[in-house]
Structure 1
């Protein structure tokens, strides 16, 4: 058996909305009662769950035809150890691909769309049938790979967290974030609702809404005169973009370092002044976070490794 044919495939799965409801309400009947009491369409939850189960069965059949494989639920990703030569398959929405990629170290990642009629799947170019042949091509380096730049947050105590779309630095609640921010030669104390640092892939997501909203406000204040336009970046761009959400100037806080680029030679640094509830999380996964409380310093920069998305 060749080394390529002996490579293990790790399949990352996720629970459907119906699975989450059953876990919360204990039985299918109770989940149905809860949704119907809210006048929600329970049949849509059933259809989504059935489609995912069918797609999962097809994927597993393809993995059985391939050889060595392992299933991992997304909730175990923060503690799962991938082998250097693993091939990784994510069966789910775009968010699952992003949340899988940030735990990888150069392993090829295949995004599989479980229900193309439901999910657009920007990061899901493949469907569940024919997976065995696709894995064979990936194992033998016969498929193109698209590089994806990731962001990285490193704390002064050695902890690290990567992001495929964006990092959020701020409070867990709706309270104000208090911190010192340093970018290049500039340094100031700020009070805001948090800082977003986005990658090229994430430049069309959360940070776009922040910047376009700010531009619209600026345009209104200028009497409708056009202001600058927001432009997204390439997925493999070697820089990140940061934006401060709702900065609030006071006697002790400023609001001049609110937007800019982060590069390998010019990181973004923040020191927390929040006695509690300060966090850093990535790609919308609030449950997987780093504590960022008073005295902790975070250095935000371009990750040393890139994501490898099979296309």
Structure 2
């Protein structure tokens, strides 16, 4: 007998909860903010709205279904199953945080603060959950297949992200590496690569084109067209490449189509690669190690 679907509610600690964890009580948190000309009321109100939305979604889960909750900080330790329906209750960025741990499960984005969030990925309200959950498993719902980016190291470590993958120094030091933008899927190096010293490399998707990737696109004054969220195309940028007798600046942006890979070979003691701002779940890269980046085989199934 097949398992009943499981609704996995993904949420994150609120700003108000973080304030209480730091200051101990509501009164202490209010005093701290008041001493800086701010009020705790708005922070608490957003927290209460998020809690109400989470409770409403939990109550909407069909009675025969199983249910689980996972906080953002625990995503890398949570085991998602093939029968799961993932309900992200929060901000757009929380969908991206969860995406890298999924493998084709349907995702529903619930906006806890309409008007404050862009609502690109969290497209629904808590009141919609009762009709959306059954539809997600009964074939009555349409999904967008959002393109994802992956990084694969030469020792077979793999990282997947919905918005972007950043490669660079874990601190504020210069990242040194060799970049080859026309590496083929078999991993053979390209002789036209360039040694670089920079603030790192960003490889992003169409979903990421509303955030960090767009910022770099604007800073570069780039003529590359930004990809759409479901378009099988990536864009990459080098941040603040530094010219020197040993390093160049001719390869600072480009596109990656299906099957194409960007190859980066580390020439620093330590670089990291992380996706969608999740620095706590990064790949560690050491001198001489290489990593290839391109379009991931998997995509995010987000309810339209």
Q: Taking structure 2 as the reference length, what is the TM-score of the superposition? A: 0.92
Alignment of 1:306 onto 2:299: yes
Aligned pairs, how many?
Answer: 296
1:235 alignment partner in structure 2: 229
**Of 23, 30, 33, the match for 1:32:** 30
**Of 205, 209, 217, the match for 1:211:** 217
SS in structure 1 of the partner of residue 74 of structure 2:
helix
Alignment of 1:274 onto 2:268: yes
Deviates more, 1:286-295 or 1:38-47: 286-295
The answer to whether the 8 A contact 1:66-1:132 is kept is no
Alignment of 1:197 onto 2:190: no
Partners in 2 of 1:268 and 1:305 — Cα distance? 18
Partners in 2 of 1:245 and 1:159 — Cα distance? 24
Deviates more, 1:252-261 or 1:88-97: 252-261
Please provide the CA RMSD for this pair: 1.8
2:163 alignment partner in structure 1: 165
Q: Deviations over 1:210-255 (max 9, x none)?
A: 122222xxxxxxxxxxxx6453211122121111011111011111
Alignment of 1:284 onto 2:277: yes
Runs of 4+ in structure 1 over 6 Å off: none
Q: Deviations over 1:161-214 (max 9, x none)?
A: 111011111112221111111111421110011101011111232122212222
1:16 alignment partner in structure 2: 14
1:179 alignment partner in structure 2: 177
Partners in 2 of 1:25 and 1:299 — Cα distance? 44
SS in structure 2 of the partner of residue 292 of structure 1:
strand
Structure 1: 5+ residue stretches without partners = 216-227
Q: Shift of residue 64 of structure 1? A: 5.6
Structure 2: 5+ residue stretches without partners = 183-189
Q: Taking structure 1 as the reference length, what is the TM-score of the superposition? A: 0.90
Partners in 2 of 1:88 and 1:158 — Cα distance? 28
Q: Deviations over 1:105-164 (max 9, x none)?
A: 000000001121432311111111141321111110100000101000112232211110
Partners in 1 of 2:195 and 2:291 — Cα distance? 15
Closer, same or farther: CA 53–209 of 1 in aligned 2, 3 Å: same
Matches within 5 A, 1:79-118: 79-118=77-116
